[in-house]
Structure 1
Amino acid sequence: MFKPFVTRLALARPALSRTVLRAPLLRTSFATPRFYSAMSFKAVNAPTLSAAGPYSHATVANGMVYCSGQIPFRDGKLVGATAAEQAQQALENLQEVLEAAGSDKSKIVKVNIFLGDMADFASVNEVYAKFLPDPKPARSCVAVKTLPLADKGNKIEIECIAVA
Structure 2
Amino acid sequence: MSTRDVVIPAERHALYEQHRYSPAVRANGLLFVSGQVGSRLDGTPEPQLDEQVRLAFRNLNAILAAAGCTFSDVVDVTVFMVDPDKHFERAWNVAAEYWGEAPYPATTAVGVTWLSGFQFEIKVIAKLPDAVKS
Please tell me the TM-score bracket, short chain as reference. 0.7 to 0.9
Matching residue of 2:131: none
Aligned residues: 123
Matching residue of 1:86: 52
Task: Say yes or no: does 1:107 pair with 2:70.
Answer: no
Distance 1:102 1:73 in 2: 22
Structure whose residues are more often helix by fraction:
2
**Residue 49 of structure 1 is aligned with which of 4, 12, 16?**
12
Shift of 1:98: 0.8
**Residue 25 of structure 2 is aligned with which of 59, 78, 88?**
59
Alignment of 1:1-164 (within 5 A): 41-50=4-13, 51=16, 52-118=18-84, 119-135=86-102, 136-148=104-116, 150=117, 154-164=118-128
Distance 1:39 1:80 in 2: 37
Shift of 1:40: 6.9
Q: Residue by residue, what CA displacement relative to the aligned partner does 1:31-85 show, whole Å, maximum 9, x if unpaired?
A: xxxxxxx777511111201313221100001111000001111221535333221
Residue identity in the other structure for 2:125? I
Cα contact 1:115–1:142 (8 A) shared by 2: yes
Matching residue of 1:27: none
Matching residue of 1:22: none
Residue identity in the other structure for 2:63? V
Residue identity in the other structure for 1:47? A
Distance 1:163 1:40, change over 3 A: farther
Q: Following TM superposition, where does structure 1 have runs of at least 4 consecutive aligned residues deviating by more than 6 angstroms?
A: none
Q: What is the TM-score when the length of structure 2 is the normalising length?
A: 0.83
Distance 1:147 1:79 in 2: 10
Residue identity in the other structure for 1:78? T
